[in-house]
Amino acid sequence: MEKTITVLPGDGIGPEVTEAAVKVLQTIAKRFNHTFNLHYELIGGAAIDDCENPLPEETIKQCSQSDAILLGAVGGPKWDQNPSHLRPEKGLLAIRKHFGLYANIRPVKAIPALLDSSPLKKEVAENVDLVIVRELTGGLYFSEPREKSHDHALDTLAYSRTEIERIVDTAFQIARSRRGKLASVDKANVLDTSKLWREIVEEKRQNYPDVELEHMLVDSTAMKMITQPSAFDVIVTENMFGDILSDEASVITGSLGMLPSASTREDGFGLYEPVHGSAPDIAGQNKANPAATILSAAMMLREAFQMETEAAAVEEAVFNVLNDGNFTGDLQVEGKRVLSTTEWTAKVLEEL
């Protein structure tokens, strides 16, 4: 197959971790006889430095001619004092909005070799294998009106039927492709948007009789995420609840440097990126853990290109390298062998 991928390295460790993922994609292409056409474009701080625009027209144009987008991370102290239209994260929000990427998908899977670095007890963290499906373009972060004065502030939480229906469908489909369990998380005892959410989930469940559905309140979900995280398969929720729960879930595996994500829409087109930021404290030192970006590339192979075998090969290579005792410096494992970004990536390429 021939696919076109736009690579947006971004800032900080972004260029280092995307380079590692690109090498993995090139190796996959060779091994499975695919052609991946890679185009590099600017986003975030790098784009601001180049043309005073965190998401240049040229980047949008190249992305819209691509089958998928691979992103590193954006931001850093250099741009922290910039006015809001010249902030790196504006580029990220703008690209998600431009392409209507409403479904944020974050898998969290316990990795046996890393259980010691989880803040949870080993017996609680092991067997965790869940996916959070977060609505990304609606809700409290985007609804109008909003206003703020010295003595008063207002935010609005609004959701339309269409916005809820499409994310709920996405989640049911993911649940169907996994262990067939879906937890729909809301605050239906208090919020009207949650009451509408629950009604729509009830309507939609008729189409997915093979999926076991449970409605949960967000507060009790937060508790269960710590006490019994392995009980979850797929979780679907609105934007703000998903923001909080996905960050909570991200600590279970013990390293931010391991977690991939995708932001997609119904046709599968999407942005694939690590959960972590640009890590300015270790940028340019060949220390970053490239696993999250490599695993994001695996998600791209699976979700955007329907290349299941290729995706599984990448994931297996990453886990084998860890199981053999090879780690980057961010992973707190006793008796570990600490490798640089490029050394660790070379191990993955060898596996492949």
Residues belonging to the chain: 352
312 annotated ligand binder: no
Residues 246-265 that bind ligand NAI (CB under 6 A): 256-257
Residues 11-50 that bind ligand NAI (CB under 6 A): 13, 17
Binding flag, residue 126, ligand NAI (CB under 6 A): no
Measured from the Cβ of residue 153, the count of other Cβ atoms closer than 10 Å reads 9
Which partner in ligand NAI, Mg ion, none is near 75 (CB below 5 to 8 A by kind)?
A: ligand NAI
Binding flag, residue 238, Mg ion (CB under 5 A): no
Angle in degrees, 0-180, between the axes of helices 161-177 and 192-204, rounded to the nearest 10: 50
Choose, by CB under 6 A, the member of 281, 308, 343, 350 that binds ligand NAI. Answer: 281
Contact (CB, 8 A) for 127 and 110? yes
148 annotated ligand binder: no
| C-alpha dihedral sign at 264, 269, 272, 277 | negative
Choose, by CB under 6 A, the member of 322, 330, 339, 348 that binds ligand NAI. Answer: 330
Binding flag, residue 101, ligand NAI (CB under 6 A): no
What's the min distance (Å) between Cβ of 65 and ligand NAI?
23
Choose, by CB under 6 A, the member of 276, 295, 298, 318 that binds ligand NAI. Answer: 276
Nearest to 324 by CA among 344, 295, 340: 344
Binding flag, residue 289, ligand NAI (CB under 6 A): yes
Q: Which residue spans within 151-288 are E strands per DSSP? A: 153-154, 181-186, 212-217, 234-237, 260-264, 270-274
Does 40 qualify as catalytic in the annotation? no
In sequence order, what DSSP letters do the residues of 40-66 get, joined into one string? Answer: E---THHHHHHHS-SS-HHHHHHHHTS
Q: What are phi and psi of 59, to 5 degrees?
A: -65, -45
Residues 243-262 that bind Mg ion (CB under 5 A): 243, 247
Active-site residue identified among 11, 67, 186, 243: 243
Active site (catalytic) residues: 141, 187, 219, 243, 247
Where does this chain bind Mg ion (CB under 5 A)?
243, 247
